[in-house]
Amino acid sequence: MPRNIQEGLAEGRILIFDGAIGTMLQRAGLHSGEVAELWNVERPEVVKNVHRAYKAAGSDLFTTNSFQGSPISLAAKGLRERAFELNFAAAQLAREVAGDEVIVAGSMGPSGQFLEPWGMLSYGEAVEAFAQQAAALTAGGVDVLLVETMSDLGEAKAAVEGAARTGKPVLVTLAFDVQGRTMMGVSAQRAARELSETSVLALGANCGDGPEVIRAALEQMHAVLSDFPLIARPNAGLPELVNGVPTWNLGPDELAAYVSLYLELGARMVGSCCGSTPDYTRAIAAAVRGAMEGGD
């Protein structure tokens, strides 16, 4: 797999994302309320083992352990001054495992603050914060920047603008409900129209209540962007408490059954999100191979 993501897409490849990082770290002992990004410097070998597992499962793209790594998110945990260190380390760990075989995508999640007029965070402040995170991830060796799980279109645009300052390709995904709207009421169609006018290379949907939610969002996006590369990364269904332990209700094969439909709706990058493991990546990769062979 070439590290140049544009080349991969131009060759007509379907790129396989990894799955959940947080879920895997929780299985390794990360407790609720702990800052996952601290493990990049405190338990780096555990983070690398997660990347190794996804590489072995067939991932073409890694996501870095930096989802809550913006200076604004880290400030809420008293860690703002360590933003560069933690993001740089996240990128370095993924890059070390990826080598030249896997594309590394720097994960940039929501800041945790509302932009004006709903909150106190200005658009300009958000751009600067995301730019700082993107710069640290880029210095650490990422190939592309992934703005993910966004609900506010304004924040998504701010993150894209900040990330674009690095000169790296930018991907963006939002989290939708079953009606194809984000928590802030943004429709998938509107998100597709407005974000496609920015510098993003590809866009789509991640997280949500499982693969059917992603299907609905992609259907809306594909209706207005028939030739634009889309991204599909569903959660492993919904979490249920089994003996006090969160257990996700959709297995790898059940999730992977949606892959051919995602491809029909314009997805060029597919993977999984919360609750997933390398088993899901393996099943998705097999489904992609089956779909591509069936199309020959």
Residue type, 281: T
Containing H/E element for 220?
Answer: helix 211-224
In angstroms, rounded to a whole number, what is the distance separating the alpha carbons of residues 260 and 141?
32
> Is the CB of residue 165 less than 8 Å from the CB of residue 198?
no
210 phi, psi to nearest 5 deg:
120, 180
pLDDT at position 1 is 54
- pTM for the whole structure: 0.95
Ramachandran region of residue 167, left (φ > 0), alpha (ψ -120 to 50) or beta? left
Residue type, 284: I
In angstroms, rounded to a whole number, what is the distance separating the alpha carbons of residues 272 and 292?
19
The distance from CA 35 to its chain's CA centroid, rounded to whole angstroms, is: 18
In the numeric block, the tokens 């920015």 are attached to: 198
3-state helix, strand, coil in the chain (%, to 5): 45, 15, 35
pLDDT at position 295 is 60
pLDDT at position 246 is 73
In the numeric block, the tokens 């969160």 are attached to: 246
Ramachandran region of residue 180, left (φ > 0), alpha (ψ -120 to 50) or beta? left
Parallel, antiparallel, or unpaired: how do β-strands 239-242 and 245-248 relate?
A: antiparallel
In angstroms, rounded to a whole number, what is the distance separating the alpha carbons of residues 240 and 223?
34
In the numeric block, the tokens 């897409």 are attached to: 9
3-state secondary structure (DSSP) of residue 172 = strand
Closest CA to 103 of 235, 198, 225, 202: 202
In angstroms, rounded to a whole number, what is the distance separating the alpha carbons of residues 20 and 8?
23
Closest CA to 221 of 272, 182, 274, 260: 182
Helices 153-164 and 188-195: angle between axes, nearest 10 degrees: 30
Digit-by-digit pLDDT tens for the chain (296 residues) are 557 898 888 888 999 999 999 999 999 999 988 999 999 999 999 999 999 999 999 999 999 999 999 999 999 999 999 999 999 999 999 999 999 999 999 999 999 999 999 999 999 999 999 999 999 999 999 999 999 999 999 999 999 999 999 999 999 999 999 888 999 999 999 999 999 999 999 999 999 889 999 999 999 999 999 999 999 999 998 888 777 667 888 999 999 999 999 999 999 999 999 999 999 999 999 999 999 887 65
